[in-house]
A = this chain, B = another copy of it.
Amino acid sequence: MQNNHHTVARRLKKLRKDKGWSLTACAEHTGVSKAMLGQIERQESSPTLATLWKLATGFNVSLSWLLNDEQQPMTFDFAHERIQVERLLAFDPQTQQEVYKLCMAEGAQSHSDAHRRGTFEMLYVQSGRLDIVVGETQVTIKAGEAYRFDAAQPHSYINRYSGKTEFLAVINYV
């Protein structure tokens, strides 16, 4: 828990690369000048809270996440998937939404390929803890927390919790 504007720099660069943005494109999306972005990524300057906010909103992530320094071991185990899926609400053409309740056993994991462009998911963990890998980034959400992400890219759910994890998945198509 120290000098981790290093991690901010890395995370920022990774986010940018994941989206396939150049520094110029990134500058347009975030409102931070291209030169500044380069300096921040190279750790030549310590960004202001104001610019951190610009970055977070521009990348559509929470500020806390941008600064969060948990290193994320990407270890997949291809054990037997033990997953229960219950459809709570069927797909409705008007709202373009469907809702699932999932229950994953300890160590279970599930992978989804990219949905069509514009689709996003909202997850809410009811009990346990869930790791979500979407693109190059990984997030952990605990019971009572929620997470939303762009589902137009491959994503995985992994239960590394010591017990079962129950969560809600709300999928919005476009």
A residues bordering B, Cβ < 8 Å? 1-5, 8, 46-50, 52-53, 56-57, 60, 62-64, 67-70, 88-89, 92, 94-95, 97, 99, 101, 120, 122, 124, 126, 144-148, 168, 170, 172
Contacts and interface: CB of A to CB of B under 8 A. Distances in A.
A50 to B, nearest CB: 4
A69 B60 contact: no
A122 B97 contact: yes
Copies per complex of this chain: 2
A87 to B, nearest CB: 10
A141 to B, nearest CB: 10
A67 to B, nearest CB: 5
A38 to B, nearest CB: 16
Nearest to A121: B95
B52 A124 contact: no
A92 B146 CA distance: 13
Contacts of A95: 120, 148, 172
A169 to B, nearest CB: 11
Given A124-B168, A170-B122, A170-B170, A64 B57 contact: no
Contact of A48 (B46, B120, B146): B46
Contacts of A64: 64, 67-70
B148 A97 contact: yes
A53 B124 contact: no
A52 B89 CA distance: 19
